Amino acid sequence: MFSYMMLGTNDLARAIRFYDPLMELLGHPKAGRNEEGASWGTFNSNTTTGLCVGRPFDRQRAGVGNGTMVALNARSLEQIQQLHALALSLGGTDEGAPGHRPQYGQGFYSAYVRDPDGNKLAFVYYDPAR
């Protein structure tokens, strides 16, 4: 359904330090890198997905969208706990501790953080045991 997601940053080096360990834990390889941005995932077909962070093309300051969030699939409940803790240790801020959220479906388990630029991320796993 999605080709890639793009998040703006005002400090590319800081964004890379934040996202590299998270994407490694999720199993998404480093992709493109240049002085304007970085990406993870694959960009070689109509069925792959990637995540990019970079400076806005219009050269204006990057800002967060109210109500905008990128949700990333995790492999387990434990991995969500690891991702949440790792994001906080990398300078992210807590937006919702790991836990089941039945209002989104019986097996919906997630955690929420903001990256150092203020972009909101969700780590999601659909727990088949619930």
Domain residue ranges of the chain, discontinuous segments joined by +: 4-43+69-126
Say how far apart CA 79 and CA 73 lie, in whole Å.
10
Residue 128 has what pLDDT? 84
Q: Is 111 helix (H, G, I), strand (E, B) or coil?
A: strand
Say how far apart CA 74 and CA 128 lie, in whole Å.
13
pLDDT (tens digit, 9 = 90+) per residue, 13-34? 999 999 999 999 999 999 999 9
CATH code reported for the domain at 4-43+69-126: 3.10.180.10
Residue 44 has what pLDDT? 78
Residue 1 has what pLDDT? 65
**Cβ atoms 52, 4 nearer than 8 A:** yes
Low pLDDT (below 70) residues in the chain:
1
